[in-house]
């Protein structure tokens, strides 16, 4: 079955003065997809979402939402989309219920009429419906914002970093809600700086400095990881980084929590180089350098590793 496109972005450019926020971004989002825009702060995620949410005009390029040009059809688009800005933007001095009623009435509907749409999200909030929105916890604020964005039965949702600054439990709950929304056929476009959230998306776009590094399913992105990945640990992490950087066949080394993630120039995944031999050689080298408690293990790459690899490639490519 050919799925229709919910979002088409073609060579989008946006500058803030001399700052290039988007340097020619192109991507397509299928209808009913949970699509993630993953990248660090300042990558251009918010700018991209704000253009799609009809809040910002691009300097050049095309953007279509639900088959409509963003610039000319913003009113029709606004009726059919929901948007949650990165910063909590509901009225903090109005209660939960008043906020919902306000946004329902703006979309010419009522809370009662569309209660079924937001039931799952709103129910945990209902005991606090007479509390002012400003007095809610971070997780509850996000639920309220999502409820308000959903109240008019949008076909597509734009969520700008909905889980930033939210505790891990609420984050998980929030993603569960997004997955449920997706199951109802709603296209969800969500941006996040957390790489681990990428695995929950159908497809992700990795963005960095206003450019898209890659668009694919998380599995496909991981499978394209160019080499074998090792996690290495020893007693002196700082010295370990320095020694690995000095090691002649090092391709990359990054700190990942208590481990370092290391790739070897000789170990391209395609060549199926003898892992054992590499590991032993590395172990020997580090031992010679005076490291103790050396742990080396071969691991599966995560999206974050892929992101690092893409970034490195990008830099090499743009270096000269």
Contact residues toward other proteins (CB under 8 A) are 53-57, 74-75, 78-79, 81, 83, 85, 87-94, 98, 101-103, 105-108, 148
Distance CA 82, CA 149 (A): 5
Minimum CB distance to other proteins smaller for 8 or for 109: 109
Least distance from other proteins to the Cβ atom of residue 306, Å: 32
Distance CA 79, CA 223 (A): 39
Residue whose structure tokens are 């892929």: 306
Minimum CB distance to other proteins smaller for 32 or for 82: 82
Beta partners for 157?
82, 188
Minimum CB distance to other proteins smaller for 9 or for 90: 90
Cα dihedral across residues 173, 90, 41, 137: positive or negative? negative
Distance CA 241, CA 244 (A): 5
Minimum CB distance to other proteins smaller for 22 or for 221: 22
Minimum CB distance to other proteins smaller for 32 or for 58: 58
Least distance from other proteins to the Cβ atom of residue 110, Å: 10
Distance CA 67, CA 5 (A): 7
Least distance from other proteins to the Cβ atom of residue 137, Å: 18
Least distance from other proteins to the Cβ atom of residue 293, Å: 50
User: Tokens for 242?
Assistant: 């320095």
| 3-class DSSP assignment, residue 285 | helix
Least distance from other proteins to the Cβ atom of residue 161, Å: 13
């Amino acid at each position: 079955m050919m799925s229709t496109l919910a979002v088409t972005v073609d060579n989008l450019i946006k500058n803030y003065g001399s700052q290039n926020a988007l340097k020619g971004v192109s991507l397509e989002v299928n209808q009913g997809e949970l699509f993630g825009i993953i990248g660090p702060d300042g990558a251009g995620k918010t700018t991209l979402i704000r253009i799609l949410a009809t809040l910002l005009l691009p300097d050049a390029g095309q953007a279509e939402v639900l088959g409509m040009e963003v610039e000319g059809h913003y009113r029709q688009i606004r009726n059919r989309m929901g948007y949650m800005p990165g910063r909590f933007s509901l009225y903090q001095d109005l209660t939960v219920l008043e906020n919902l009623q306000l946004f329902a009435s703006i979309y010419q509907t009522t809370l009662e009429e569309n209660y079924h749409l937001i039931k799952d999200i709103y129910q945990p909030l209902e005991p606090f419906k007479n509390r002012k929105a400003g007095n809610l916890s971070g997780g509850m604020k996000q639920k309220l914002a999502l409820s308000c964005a959903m109240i008019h039965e949008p076909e597509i949702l734009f969520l700008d970093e909905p889980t930033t600054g939210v505790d891990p439990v609420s984050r998980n709950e929030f993603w569960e809600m997004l997955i449920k929304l997706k199951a109802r056929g709603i296209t969800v476009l969500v941006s996040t700086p957390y790489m681990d959230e990428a695995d929950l998306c159908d497809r992700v776009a990795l963005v960095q400095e206003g450019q898209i590094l890659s668009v694919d399913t998380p599995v496909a992105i991981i499978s394209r990881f160019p080499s074998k990945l090792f996690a290495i640990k020893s007693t002196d992490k700082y010295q370990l980084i320095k020694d690995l950087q000095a090691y002649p066949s090092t391709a990359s080394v990054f700190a990942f929590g208590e481990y370092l993630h290391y790739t070897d120039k000789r170990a391209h995944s395609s060549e199926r180089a003898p892992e054992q031999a590499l590991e032993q050689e590395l172990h020997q080298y580090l031992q010679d350098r005076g490291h103790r408690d050396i742990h080396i293990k071969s691991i599966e790459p995560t999206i974050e590793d892929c992101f690092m690899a893409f970034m490195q490639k990008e830099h090499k490519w743009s270096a000269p």
